[in-house]
Each structure stands twice: as structure tokens, then as C-alpha cells.
Amino acid sequence: MAAVDLSAHPGHLARRLQQAHYLLWNTMVSEEITSPQFAVLNALVAEPGLDQRSVGERVGLDRSTIAEVISRLGRRGLLDKVRDTQDGRRFLLRLTDEGVRVHRKLTVRTARMNQVFLAPLSGEEQTVFFDLLQRVSDAAEGLRNPGAPVAPLVTQR
């Protein structure tokens, strides 16, 4: 009766979009390296020697998640992690040769995948799509913290 149509819920659509992407990535790009892992490799190609926190900032991952992703990439031998001698809190990250090689290979495949992913949209629609996606995300990002916390669902006794 009071049920709602989920297709009018942006959150639901966002989740579906990500699932769709995950699926395509798995079949067209790699079953070993994930999309967030590629994002990290990419950030380190652009700025070698970055520390963990900064990489997380570039790719949009919090301190805990970025630590996990980096540890996995380290285990796979795609990057090295060394203490910063200037600031003993930091770890400096740098791709290994293998890391660079994998990044290069994935860059090509990713481009192909993006084409397939966006194929249902015309060129103009693709531009609009990026724009809308970015604007909504940026706006929500800007809303961090300031709001008062939600009232709990159940009144605790």
C-alpha cells in the first residue's frame, strides 16, 4: 500500500549503477585489480611519492579504506611503501615497475570499457551525464557534518 517506487530513488539508482559498473569491469577489465585499486595506481602515476592520506584524498577514500587497498596492492607487488624520513608519521608510496606495467595495461582496457558502458548514451548525453553526476556528488560532499544528527528510530528507554 504505502510502498514506494524505488526507480524514483536516486540512492537506489546510484547503487545499481555501481553494480552495473562492477560487473562490466570484472568482465572487460580485470578480475584481479578492482576499479578503486586502479584509481590508486593512477594517482601514483600522476604523483609518485604521495603519502597514503593524499592518495585517499585524490581517489575519494577514507583513511581506513585506503590503508586496505594499499596493503593489497603492496602484497601484489605493485607499489612500495617507505617511511618518510622527513616526517616519521607518513608512508611514501611509489609504484614498482610491475605496478606501472599493470597501470598501462589497465588504462587501455578501461577506456574500452567506458565506451561500452556509456554506449547507450549519445555523445551529448554523456557530457550531461558527467555533469549531473559531478554536481550532485559535489553538493552532497559539501554537506558533510554540519547537519544535526538524525533522531533515533526507537526511543531508547
Partner DNA sequence: AAGAAATACTCAGTGCCCTGACTAATCGGG
Partner DNA sequence: CCCGATTAGTCAGGGCACTGAGTATTTCTT
**Residue 131 sits in the site that holds DNA (CB under 7 A):** no
b/e per residue, 128-154, with b = 16+ CB within 10 A?
eeeeeeeeeeeeeeeeeeeeeeeeeee
The rounded distance, in Å, linking the Cα atoms of 47 and 149 is 37
Instruction: Show the binding pattern over residues 20-59: x = contacts a second copy (CB under 8 A), - = does not.
Output: xx-xxxxxxxxxxx-xx--x--xx-xx-----------xx
The answer to whether the CB of 84 falls within 8 A of the CB of 51 is yes
Beta carbon of residue 142, minimum distance to DNA (angstroms, whole number): 14
Residues 59-78 touching a second copy, rule: CB under 8 A, are: 59-60
The rounded distance, in Å, linking the Cα atoms of 156 and 137 is 34
> Interacting stretch for a second copy, rule CB under 8 A, among 49-57, 66-74, 80-88, 135-143?
135-143
| 3-class state of residue 78 by DSSP | coil
**Residue 15 sits in the site that holds DNA (CB under 7 A):** yes
**Residue 23 sits in the site that holds DNA (CB under 7 A):** yes
How big is the chain by its Cα radius of gyration, in Å? 19
> Interacting stretch for a second copy, rule CB under 8 A, among 49-57, 66-74, 82-90, 127-135?
127-135
Residues 26-45 touching DNA, rule: CB under 7 A, are: 26, 34, 36-37
